[in-house]
Structure 1
Amino acid sequence: MSTAQPADGADGTERATPDALLHARTGTEVAPEDVVLATGRDVTPKSLEWARRKIEAEGPAALDKLLP
């Protein structure tokens, strides 16, 4: 008897993740590292400074705007 389980969508039922589960923040502070990583950039002193300025200008929404 096989205990293997089908891969996601293999049974023909693909389900979208509910919007309520897609939020990145949990009410905590947004760190510059989070903003840099959300852009796909490497964490460097230059990218961290850019992220700090972005957070100062946009607040926590800086991260929200980068994520789907």
Structure 2
Amino acid sequence: MTDELRPPLEESDAVADAIEDDVAVDAFITGGGTDRDNPEFLPPGQEPAWRTGADQPWDPEDLAVAEGRDPTPENVARARKELEEDGPAAIERTVP
């Protein structure tokens, strides 16, 4: 049966039975946790705990590879200079 011919889920027998029996319908169960459709809202004034790519230590070799470059001595030297000059901002540009 194609989606065009299938009635909406709300009109299915399973939903009618669930309403009548007060039973959960599998298609409506989300797992109970937060997700894209059920976000967690923070109280006013509370800041979220963001984790970024710069929260962990980075070697120049890692930065060169993350930028899509081979870890050649030239690319590693350029990445080392970038890390020394820009610090975490060098990583944030590549791995936000």
TM-score by length of 2: 0.43
For this pair of structures, how many residues does the alignment match? 50
Contact 1:35/1:63, CA 8 A, preserved across alignment = yes
Query: Could you list the runs of 4 or more consecutive aligned residues of structure 1 that deviate by over 4 angstroms after TM superposition?
Result: none
Larger Rg: 2
Identity %: 38
> What is the alpha-carbon root mean square deviation over aligned residues?
2.3
Higher RCO (CA < 8 A, seq sep 6+) = 1
Residue 30 (structure 1) aligns with: 58
**How far apart in 2 are the matches of 1:35 and 1:58?**
12
Residue type matched to 1:24 in 2? Answer: G
**How far apart in 2 are the matches of 1:59 and 1:24?**
12
**How far apart in 1 are the matches of 2:71 and 2:94?**
16
Q: Which moved more, 1:48-57 or 1:58-67?
A: 58-67
Residue 57 (structure 1) aligns with: 85
Residues 1-68 of structure 1 mapped to structure 2, 5 A cutoff: 20=50, 23-26=52-55, 28-68=56-96
Q: Which runs of 5+ in 2 are unaligned?
A: 1-35, 37-49
TM-score by length of 1: 0.57
Q: CA offsets, 1:8-58, max 9 Å, x none?
A: xxxxxxx5xxxx46x3244x3221012101110100100000001000110
**Secondary structure of the structure 2 residue equivalent to 1:55:** helix
